[in-house]
């Protein structure tokens, strides 16, 4: 049977094996909705089930539309196309940034030409959007960061209900660090943490970014504010001005969350990448001091909504897949180990955490 034909109460009669050669679902498992979601996530096309339900009643398969299968295939192909387009956008952004370093001005039409095709894919790539850090290396992190922040910000704005302005947020996201081009190139090449003096210099980049776009008519006032304020924080501890919550534009709050998430999950010259779950956990600790809570919560809800059924590696080294997420503890989900039937509630095991998300 195709997973879309399953109903709760079905009995799996043969273990379902994933690409890792570990069972996704064990033999004799009684199907629940979480199992169906897991099968869909792992792109399983066929499972063997008993003719009888757990209750003893006859199993009557659900009907399913062949078009749904074709749509899944299209989505997988879309992912491949997106990856190619994303890497090209990073290369184009790097070339554009080099021109800014040489004194060139922002060509907003070129910026849109680079990003708009990627925005068209946002509805199809779901979890992979939150894993863009997998493409970046410590040497080319900066250029990946600009494109990734743009995509994350556009997606988040869309999820927050912006029907038209979400593309503006995305464009502001890639322009937020344009002012870095006006600073010494040493910060890009440095292999250690910045000194206090260097950090003070870096803190000027939002103002420089703003100046690069302030005379462009097609860049709206809201976008300009987002670019200027993307490093401001709710408690007034941000820069370049140090304004507090009520004076920070929502677009800037969106970019701030996206910027921090991608920076913390990416490998840097002076810092190793961190698990998305660990990063979100850290960000949630600062939800009332640094980040706008409704914006951060929407970001977390969106990410976690995509992770049910996802295969992960735990800090113990074991692999598992997520079977349930408690909204009160989103970074500490319930997982089932891949090599056994054991289910672990991570919220009750503070010493164990999700080390990484497995996408192979």
Q: What is the pLDDT of residues 33-88, one digit of tens each?
A: 778 777 776 668 788 989 889 888 888 888 766 555 555 454 555 556 888 999 99
Look up tokens 């095709």; give the residue.
Answer: 117
- Three-state SS for 84? helix
Q: Which among 216, 224, 120 is positioned nearest to 172, based on CA atoms? A: 224
DSSP per residue over 9-37, as a string? T-BB-SPEE-TTSSEEE-TTPBP-HHHHH
| Dihedral sign from CA coordinates of 63, 67, 73, 79 | negative
Q: Helix 276-285 crosses helix 250-265 at what angle (to 10 degrees)?
A: 140
pLDDT of 162 reads 95
DSSP code per residue over 316-331: TS-EEEEEE--TTSTT
Q: What is the pLDDT of residue 171?
A: 98
For 217-255, the DSSP string reads TTS-HHHHHHHHHTT--TTS--SSS---GGGS-HHHHHH
Distance in angstroms (rounded) separating the CA atoms of residues 75 and 221: 36
Quote the pLDDT of residue 78.
56
DSSP per-residue codes, 86-98: HHHHHHHHHHHHH
pLDDT digits (tens, 9 = 90+) for 196-229: 888 899 999 999 999 999 999 999 999 999 999 9
Q: What is the pTM of this model?
A: 0.79
Burial (CB count <10 Å: 0-12, 13-18, 19+), residue 204 = middle
pLDDT (0 to 100) of residue 80? 64
Asked if omega into 337 is within 30° of 0 (cis), the reply is no
Could you tell me if 173 and 145 are in contact, meaning their C-beta atoms sit under 8 angstroms apart?
no
Residue 65 in tokens? 């539309």
In the chain, what's the furthest Cα-to-Cα distance? 75
Which neighbouring-strand residues pair with 357? 312
Going by DSSP bridges, is the β-strand pair 23-25/16-17 parallel, antiparallel, or unpaired? antiparallel
pLDDT values of the chain reduced to their tens digit, one per residue, 360 residues: 888 888 889 999 988 886 556 677 888 889 887 787 777 766 687 889 898 898 888 888 887 665 555 554 545 555 568 889 999 999 999 999 999 999 999 999 999 999 999 999 888 778 889 999 999 988 899 999 999 999 999 999 999 999 999 999 999 999 999 999 999 877 776 767 778 888 899 999 999 999 999 999 999 999 999 999 999 999 999 999 999 999 999 999 999 999 999 999 998 776 788 899 999 999 999 888 999 999 999 999 999 988 888 889 999 999 998 988 988 899 999 998 987 778 899 999 989 999 999 876
Helix crossing, 141-159 with 250-265: angle to 10°? 130
Task: Tell me the C-alpha distance between 349 and 344, whole Å.
Answer: 8
| Residues near 303 by beta carbon (within 8 Å), at least 6 away in sequence | 127, 130, 276, 280
* Residue-level pLDDT at 151: 98
Burial (CB count <10 Å: 0-12, 13-18, 19+), residue 40 = middle
DSSP line for 150-216: HHHHHHHHHHTT-SSTHHHHHHHHHHTTGGGGGS-THHHH--SPPPHHHHHHHTTHHHHHHHHHTT-
């Amino acid at each position: 049977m195709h997973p879309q034909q399953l109903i709760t109460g079905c009995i799996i009669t043969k273990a379902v094996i994933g690409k890792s050669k570990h069972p996704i679902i064990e033999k004799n498992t009684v199907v629940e909705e979480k199992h169906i979601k897991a099968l869909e996530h792992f792109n399983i096309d066929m499972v063997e089930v008993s003719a009888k339900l757990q209750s003893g009643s006859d199993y009557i398969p659900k009907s399913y539309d062949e078009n749904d299968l074709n749509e899944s295939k299209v989505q997988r192909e879309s992912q491949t196309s997106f990856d190619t387009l994303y890497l090209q956008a990073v290369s184009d952004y790097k070339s554009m940034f080099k021109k800014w370093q040489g004194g060139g001005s922002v060509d907003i039409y070129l910026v849109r030409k680079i990003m708009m095709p990627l925005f068209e894919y946002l509805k199809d790539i779901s979890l992979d959007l939150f894993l863009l850090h997998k493409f970046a290396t410590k040497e080319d992190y900066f250029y990946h960061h600009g494109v990734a922040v743009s995509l994350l910000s556009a997606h988040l704005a869309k999820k927050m209900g912006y029907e038209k302005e979400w593309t503006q947020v995305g464009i502001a996201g890639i322009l937020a660090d344009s002012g870095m081009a006006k600073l010494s190139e040493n910060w890009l090449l440095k292999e250690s943490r910045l000194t206090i003096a260097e950090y003070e210099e870096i803190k000027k980049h939002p103002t420089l970014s703003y100046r690069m776009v302030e005379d462009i008519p097609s860049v709206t006032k809201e976008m300009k504010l987002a670019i200027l304020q993307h490093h401001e924080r709710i408690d007034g501890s941000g820069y370049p001005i140090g304004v507090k919550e009520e004076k920070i534009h929502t677009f800037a709050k969106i970019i701030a969350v996206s910027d921090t998430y991608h920076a913390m999950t990416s490998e840097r010259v002076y810092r190793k990448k961190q698990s998305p779950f660990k990063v979100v956990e850290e960000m949630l600790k600062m939800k009332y001091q640094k980040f706008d809570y409704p914006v951060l919560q929407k970001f977390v809800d969106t990410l976690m909504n995509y992770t049910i059924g996802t295969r992960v590696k735990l800090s113990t080294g074991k692999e598992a897949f997520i079977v349930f997420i408690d909204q009160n503890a989103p970074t500490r989900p319930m997982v089932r180990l891949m090599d056994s039937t054991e289910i672990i509630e991570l919220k009750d095991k503070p010493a164990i955490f999700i080390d990484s998300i497995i996408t192979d």
